[in-house]
Structure 1
Amino acid sequence: MEKLVMLELLRSYYAGKKVFLTGHTGFKGTWMMALLHQLGAEVKGYALAPEDSAPFHNLFSGLNVQSVIADIRNRKQLTEEIASFQPDYVFHLAAQPLVLLSYEIPSETFEVNVVGTANVLEAARQLEKRCNIIVITTDKVYDNKEHHGLYKEEDRLGGYDPYSASKACTELVVDSFRNSFFNVKDILIHRKALASARAGNVIGGGDFSRNRIIPDAAKALLQGKEILVRNPGSVRPWQHVLEPVCGYLLLGTKMTDDPVSFSQAFNFGPQPEDHLTVKELVELAIKTWGSGKMEVSSNGAAMHEANLLKLDISKAAEQLSWKPQLSAPQAIEWSMDWYKTPVEQQAEFTFTQIDNYLRK
C-alpha cells in the first residue's frame, strides 16, 4: 500500500470501536494492543498475567486499556467480560504458543488452545450485536510433510507435536462454530463473521519466550556470549510481528464490509525468498548487531520439531490486498534494533516502529 494508506484505512475502521483482545499480555498481543491504541480503538484485554521473564507488556502499563487478568478456560468470567464490553471485534490470540513446552504440558496445551477457543466463540455467540471474530492459529496447523512446496489454506490439517496438533484442532473448532452457529447463510440472523488467521514464525522486539531464536540471540549478544543454535538447517517463514498483526486488522476491515466472503482462513507469511534457515537468520542477526558468534549444539532438540515449513500467502495478497512490507533482512534489523534500545526508551521505540511500518 502507498504511504499513509494503511494508517488511514485502519483508523477509519478501528478508531472509536470496541476491540476485545485475548492474550494481550503476550508478545504478539502486546504489539497488537499498542497498535490498536495508536489507531484510536477502545481495547479490553483478557489474559494471564505477564511472566516475570517477559517484561515487554509492562512497558505499556500506562495505556488506557482495560486489562482483565484471567484464564480463558474460565468460561463464566470470559462470557461476562465479553458481554459487559459488547465488542465490535474479537481478536483471539491467547494460547500456549511454544512447541517444546507443549511436550512438557500436553494436556494443558490442548485445554488452553482448544477448549479456550471454544469458550471464546461460545461467549461471542451470546452477543446480540454484530461482531467480527478472528481466531489466531499458526502456520503449524498443516499436516507437514516437510517438502519444499508452499502450504495453502485448503491443505490438510495435522500436527506431530502437541502444540501443532492443538492448533489444528483449534481450526476444527472454528470450522464447527462457523458451520453450526455462524453460518454465512444466516448472517442476517446471528450477525457474526468468523475467520482464522495462520501466521508464520514471528520475530520482533519484546519477545522473551523460551527456546525462540531471536530472543536467545539478543540475550547472548547483550551478554557477549555465543548464540547457541539447536537446528541450524531448519527452514521457517520468518516475519516481523507487525506483518501478521496488520494482516489480522486488515482482515477485520474486509469482514466488516463483506462478512460472507471473508469468513474463512488466511495465511500470513513472508515472500517465498524470505523463508530462511535458522543459520541464515542468526548470521543476519550477528551482521546487524555488528558482532557475535554462533555455536551449533551437538545434541539439537531433544523432542521433534519440523525442519521445513513454508506458507503460500497468495490468497491474502489477492483477496485482502495484503503483502509483507519488510524483507527478512529488514525484519531482523528491526528486531535487533529494538533489543539494542535502552529499556527506558523501548516503549517509545515500539510506537516509532509501528508508525514507520504503517507509513511504509
Structure 2
Amino acid sequence: MEEHSFWHQKKVFITGHTGFKGSWLTLWLTSLGAQVTGYSLTPVSSPNLYEAANISELCTSIQGDINDYSSLLHAMTTHQPEILFHLAAQPLVRPSYKEPVYTFATNVLGTAHVLEAARQTKSVQVIVNVTSDKCYQNDGLGRRHFKEYDPLGGHDPYSASKACAEIVSDCYRNSFWDGGVSSHPVLATARAGNVIGGGDWSEGRLFPDIVRAVTTKTSLSIRNRRAIRPWQHVLDPLQGYLQLAEMCLGNRQYAEAWNFGPISQAHVTVDEFIRLTSDHWSEPLDIEYQSSDHTSYEVPILTLDSSKAVQQLAWLPKLSIERAVEWTVAWYEQYQAGANMRLFTQQQIKAYIKGEGV
C-alpha cells in the first residue's frame, strides 16, 4: 500500500464492483489505501474475478440494483463517498437484443439514478461515469478514429443506451454542476475499448470464449473474423479512470468526455487477435466460423482516438496488444493451477504501476 498516494483513505463508491472492471478497480484502489464501498448485483458469471480473488474481504460490499433508487440513495448517503465510479451496467451487445428494455432501464435510467443519488449526497466531489467506445454514431466503415466530440448514436440497443447515458451525464453536468463552489461534483465520462484481462468469464466476449474453448477442449465459435476492435488490457483504461478522477478533484475543466483507447497497433482483427492468443497459449485452438447472423448487428470496425487524454491528462497505455494477451493468458494459467488469485492479480497491478514487464 502507498500510504502517501492520492487515494490513501479516500472514500470511494463503486457501482458494479462485482463485475470484471469493477473487481480490478476495487483491488487497485484498496491496494492504494482507499476505503471502498461497492454497490452491485451478485456476479453474473460463475466463476468470476470477484469471488476468485475474495474481493468482498477488502471492501464494504452492498448487494443492490441501480434501478432501485431508494436503496442506492440510502447506500450512498450512509457511506458519504468523496469519489464515485459508475460502472454498473448491462455491458454486452448481443444480450441487448434479447432484453432491450432491461438494457435501457439499467444503462439509461440507472445512470440517472446514480447521478441523482450523487446530487443528494453532499460529500461527492468527483464522478467518473464509465460508458463505452460504442456510444459513437458508427457507420462501420472505419474511415477515422472516433474523437470525443463526434456525434453520439447506436445501431444496437446496447450502443444506443450508452449514447443515452452520455446525454444524461451531460444534462446533469449542465443543469446542476456547471460551476460555483456549491455545484459539486465534477462529472466526467470515460470511453474505453475492448478490454481483456484475467477473471472475465462473460458470455459472448472473445477472450472468455477462448478460455472456455481451451479449458473444455471444445471448438471456438467465431462470428466475424474480420471485425476490428480497440483491444487493450483492463489496467490501461483503469489507469485512465484513476488519473481522470484525480485531475477532476477541484478542477471543473476536466468535466468532459474522455477516450481511453489503446495504441494504434492494438486495433487488430479478430483473426489477428486469436493468432496472438494462440502464440501464448500452449494448447492449439479448434476454430469454427459461423455464417452471418442477421438477427443482430455489430459494427465491423471500431477505433478510438485517445490523443486528448494523452495530451491533457498525461495518460498513456503501457501494455502493447502482445503484452496484454501475455498477461491475460498468464492469469488464466495461474487460475487453472490453483494459485492465490487475489495475490496474483495484485502482483500484476503492482508490476503495471512500476512498469515491470510492460
Which TM class, normalised by the smaller chain length? over 0.9
Partner of 2:96: 102
Partner of 1:287: 279
Give the alignment's TM-score, normalised by structure 2. Answer: 0.94
SS for the counterpart of 1:32 is helix
Post-superposition Cα deviations, 1:209-244, rounded to whole Å, max 9, x if no partner, equal 000000010111122333221111000000000111
Matches within 5 A, 1:268-279: 268-279=260-271
Return the match for 1:145 from 139, 142, 162: 139
Q: Are residues 1:129 and 2:114 paired?
A: no
Q: Are residues 1:245 and 2:253 paired?
A: no
CA shift for structure 1 position 347: 2.0
Partner of 2:40: 47
Q: Are residues 1:57 and 2:50 paired?
A: yes
Sequence identity (%): 43
**Any gaps of 5 or more consecutive residues in structure 1?**
1-6
CA shift for structure 1 position 97: 0.2
Over 3 Å counting, the alpha-carbon distance change for 1:128 and 1:244 in structure 2 is same
SS for the counterpart of 2:113 is helix
Contact 1:229–1:294 (CA under 8 A) maintained in structure 2: no
- May I ask how many residue pairs the two structures share in their alignment? 350
Over 3 Å counting, the alpha-carbon distance change for 1:130 and 1:49 in structure 2 is closer
Partner of 2:114: 120
SS for the counterpart of 2:149 is coil
Contact 2:9–2:34 (CA under 8 A) maintained in structure 1: yes
CA shift for structure 1 position 62: 5.3
Q: Are residues 1:72 and 2:66 paired?
A: yes
How far apart, in 2, do the equivalents of 1:269 and 1:216 lie?
22
Partner of 1:86: 80
Partner of 2:205: 212
How far apart, in 2, do the equivalents of 1:224 and 1:286 lie?
14
RMSD: 1.5
**Any gaps of 5 or more consecutive residues in structure 2?**
none
How far apart, in 2, do the equivalents of 1:345 and 1:159 lie?
40
Over 3 Å counting, the alpha-carbon distance change for 1:121 and 1:130 in structure 2 is closer
Post-superposition Cα deviations, 1:312-348, rounded to whole Å, max 9, x if no partner, equal 0000000100010000011011111111112442222
Over 3 Å counting, the alpha-carbon distance change for 1:142 and 1:35 in structure 2 is same
How far apart, in 1, do the equivalents of 2:245 and 2:64 lie?
25
How far apart, in 2, do the equivalents of 1:69 and 1:129 lie?
22
Counterpart of 2:117, as a letter, is A
Q: Are residues 1:337 and 2:330 paired?
A: yes
Q: Are residues 1:233 and 2:250 paired?
A: no
How far apart, in 2, do the equivalents of 1:129 and 1:287 lie?
49
Over 3 Å counting, the alpha-carbon distance change for 1:61 and 1:323 in structure 2 is closer
Return the match for 1:157 from 147, 152, 161: 152
- Please say which of residues 331-340 and 292-301 is displaced more in the overlay: 292-301
Post-superposition Cα deviations, 1:52-74, rounded to whole Å, max 9, x if no partner, equal 52432112245331000010001
- Please say which of residues 220-229 and 22-31 is displaced more in the overlay: 220-229
CA shift for structure 1 position 137: 0.2
Partner of 2:177: 182
Post-superposition Cα deviations, 1:146-165, rounded to whole Å, max 9, x if no partner, equal 22310000000000000000
Q: Are residues 1:306 and 2:302 paired?
A: no
Return the match for 2:348 from 331, 336, 353: 353
Structure 1 stretches of 4+ with a deviation exceeding 3 A read none
Counterpart of 1:225, as a letter, is T
CA shift for structure 1 position 294: 4.3
Give the alignment's TM-score, normalised by structure 1. Answer: 0.94
Contact 1:128–1:190 (CA under 8 A) maintained in structure 2: no
Contact 2:154–2:163 (CA under 8 A) maintained in structure 1: yes
Contact 1:282–1:294 (CA under 8 A) maintained in structure 2: no
SS for the counterpart of 1:237 is strand
Partner of 2:167: 172
CA shift for structure 1 position 280: 0.6
- Please say which of residues 112-121 and 217-226 is displaced more in the overlay: 217-226
How far apart, in 1, do the equivalents of 2:148 and 2:59 lie?
34
